[in-house]
Amino acid sequence: VGAGVWMLRARQGGATSYAPVIVRGDDTVPGTALVVVPALTWRAYGAGDCDRDGQGDSWYGHPRDPVVPRRCAYRTAGERPGLPHAFARFAPFQSWLDDHPHPVRYLSDVELAALTGAELRRYPLIVFPGHVEYYEQRLYGKLLRYRDGGGRLLFLSGNSFYGTVAVRGNRIVRL
């Protein structure tokens, strides 16, 4: 299995659940770029009901209580085979990268936010191939400092860095 985002798929009746698996890849090659998997935004649009409260686990489904579980399979109903809609914006870049190999390391947006400034500076480029709508405030500040220090940011999808969230244990809270 090569570096990238892989999906585990499970079917039960007419419903299909997906769980992304990030295979990070080797970052020892000089010039390795970071590719950011927008896990926080993917969680915002989940339709599963992992806490079994009768509501889909999306803060769009219950905006008065904008909290979703951090770890939960993504559930869809009646979708065609392949990647769920939430992942569709990421797939074209992954396909391009499969055809044009470059040294990359994959991280989720939560993992990226945990890196220090010195760790970020090891990478000449950070690529956001998918819809990175939601983010932790600490990540935004780190990316500004990275960019101001000469780092390059590449956004391949619109509406990036629209709203802040907080990761609190196994929960994501929209702020």
Q: In what order do the strands lie in the sheet with 134-136?
A: 67-69, 171-174, 163-168, 134-136
- Residue-wise over 35-54: b if at least 16 C-beta within 10 A, else e? bbbbbbbbbbbbbbbbeeee
Collapsing DSSP to helix, strand or coil, 105 comes out as strand
pLDDT value of position 83: 56
Proportion of the chain in helix, strand, coil states, percent, rounded to 5? 25, 30, 45
C-beta separation of 15 from 77 below 8 A: yes
Give pLDDT tens digits along the chain (175 positions).
578 888 888 888 877 777 788 888 888 888 999 999 888 888 887 767 777 777 777 777 777 888 888 877 666 665 555 555 667 777 788 888 888 888 999 999 999 999 999 999 999 999 998 888 889 999 999 999 999 999 999 998 888 888 899 999 888 899 9
Q: What is the pLDDT of residue 126?
A: 96
pLDDT attached to residue 75: 66
- Report the C-alpha gap between 45 and 58 in whole angstroms: 5
